[in-house]
Every structure is written in C-alpha cells, then in structure tokens.
Chain A
Amino acid sequence: QLQLQESGPGLVKPSETLSLTCTVSGYSISSSSYHWAWIRQPPGKGLEWIGSIYHSGSTYYNPSLKSRVTISVDTSKDQFSLRLTSVTAADTAVYYCAHDYGGNLPDYWGQGTLVTVSS
C-alpha cells in the first residue's frame, strides 16, 4: 500500500527557506508513470497546488509561486522534496505531499505537516 509521509521543520523564520521532504513507502517513485506533488492549505483556508515532479525530474510549478519554489526527487531514497525561499507569514500552512495514480487527480496524500513562519 502506497504511503506518503512529510517531514521537516515546523517553524521557519521570515525570509528564510522552507524545506520539506516526502518519503514514499510501499512503492517505488521510479516505477510511477505519474506525478508527485506538493499542495498546501493555510489555516482555515482552501487548498493550493504548489507544484509537481515526475521521476525523471521534470517539474511543473504554480505560476504564483514559481519564482520561489524548487521541487526535486531522489529516486534512490524514494523521496521528493520542496524548497520555498523567502518565506513570509503568508506561507504558514499545512503542507501535503500527494500522488496521482493514473487518474490525473491526487489519489494518495500524506497526513500533512504544519509549517509556521514566525520569528
């Protein structure tokens, strides 16, 4: 059974870089023909797609975040990662990693991890 688990600091200072990792278990990232994604949700607000990556390393980003986002993949560890630079309080959110299993929609989700941007 494919499972996703986010990890990383829960507190980041303004202007610094947010870094999260999603560890995939029960499946090999390199086996998937579909994309691995990051999605976030500010407290009490809606969902926002951040970006996606294919096991080859091809990436796609939300235009509103593109200048600050980097998503990378490490197939040897079955992990993919998110870096968001120059964070502000507006980046405070629960960050989810997700995977679509062929339906072009997210099928599998991590439990989410809250990242707070505060000094």
Chain B
Amino acid sequence: DIQMTQSPSSLSASVGDRVTITCRTSQDIGSELGWYQQKPGKAPKRLIYAAFSLQSGVPSRFSGSGSGTEFTLTISSLQPEDFATYYCLHHKNYPTWTFGQGTKVEIK
C-alpha cells in the first residue's frame, strides 16, 4: 500500500497570508494526486487535479505543485472564504483512493 502523510494537521493564518500544505507519499505516484477543500457540513470540493491542474471555477490563488512523492497546495493570498479543511487524495492505484489526513486552516 502507498502511504500518504499530509502536514501540518492544522495551521493558523491571517487574511492575505501565503499558506502551504504538503503531502508526501511512500512511493512514486507521478502526478496522480488531487486537492480538495471541505467546509463544515459540506461535501469536499475539488480544487486541483493531476497535481497542478486548476479545477474550472477555482480561484487562481490556489495552486498545486510537485510530482513523485512530494506535493504542495499553495494559497497565495488567503481569503476569508478559504478557512476550511484541505485534503490531498491520490489515485495511483485507481479505482482505489487514499486520502491524506487533512489540514485545518484556521483564522489567526
């Protein structure tokens, strides 16, 4: 099994801050990874697919990077609506899916 480690588990940031979240995998998964945003009481929403491709309709302040075993989600300038929990998800062994542990972004 490919293990996924997401960090940090939580962070506090202010509006306008640059935020970075990382996912690392135990094996090379190429670019087979996506990023999701989840707000309380709602289903997750996809932000990024194929490691760095921005989902249609998602603001350009969100970006993804990385390949192989290390991946990053960056929010270039945090907005009030961005306070949420973020998950990475790899599909190297599609149709099986493995989620990261999640990162809760809170207001500082």
Q: Determine if B43 and A112 form an interchain contact, defined as CB atoms under 8 angstroms apart.
A: yes
The interface size bin for chain A is 20 to 34
Interface residues of A in 42-56 (CB under 8 A from B): 46-49, 52, 54
Q: A interface, by DSSP: helix, strand, loop or mixed? A: loop
Chain B residue numbers with a CB within 8 Å of A110 are 43
Bitwise, A81-119 to B at CB < 8 A (1) or not (0) is: 000000000000000101010011111011110000000
- Spot the interface stretch: B11-19, B20-28, B76-84, B88-96: B88-96
Q: Determine if A46 and B46 form an interchain contact, defined as CB atoms under 8 angstroms apart.
A: no
Q: A46-B87, A96-B43, A110-B43 are in contact. Are A104 and B96 (CB under 8 A)?
A: no
Q: Determine if B46 and A105 form an interchain contact, defined as CB atoms under 8 angstroms apart.
A: yes
Q: Determine if B43 and A111 form an interchain contact, defined as CB atoms under 8 angstroms apart.
A: yes
Chain B residue numbers with a CB within 8 Å of A107 are 46
Complex formed: what's the CA distance from A104 to B32 in Å? Answer: 9
Q: Determine if B94 and A104 form an interchain contact, defined as CB atoms under 8 angstroms apart.
A: yes
Complex formed: what's the CA distance from A63 to B34 in Å? Answer: 22
Residue of B nearest to A64 (CB): B1
Q: Determine if B34 and A46 form an interchain contact, defined as CB atoms under 8 angstroms apart.
A: no
Minimal beta-carbon separation of B18 from chain A (angstroms): 24
- B44 at the binding interface (Cβ < 8 Å): yes
Q: Determine if A49 and B97 form an interchain contact, defined as CB atoms under 8 angstroms apart.
A: yes
Chain B residue numbers with a CB within 8 Å of A62 are 96
Most chain A beta carbons < 10 A, residue from B44, B87, B97, B102: B97
Show 28 residue pairs from A and B whose CB-CB distance is below 8 angstroms, ordered by the A residue: A35-B95, A39-B97, A46-B87, A46-B99, A46-B100, A46-B102, A47-B87, A47-B89, A47-B99, A48-B99, A49-B96, A49-B99, A52-B97, A54-B95, A60-B96, A63-B1, A98-B43, A100-B95, A103-B49, A104-B32, A105-B34, A105-B46, A105-B89, A106-B46, A107-B46, A109-B43, A110-B43, A111-B43
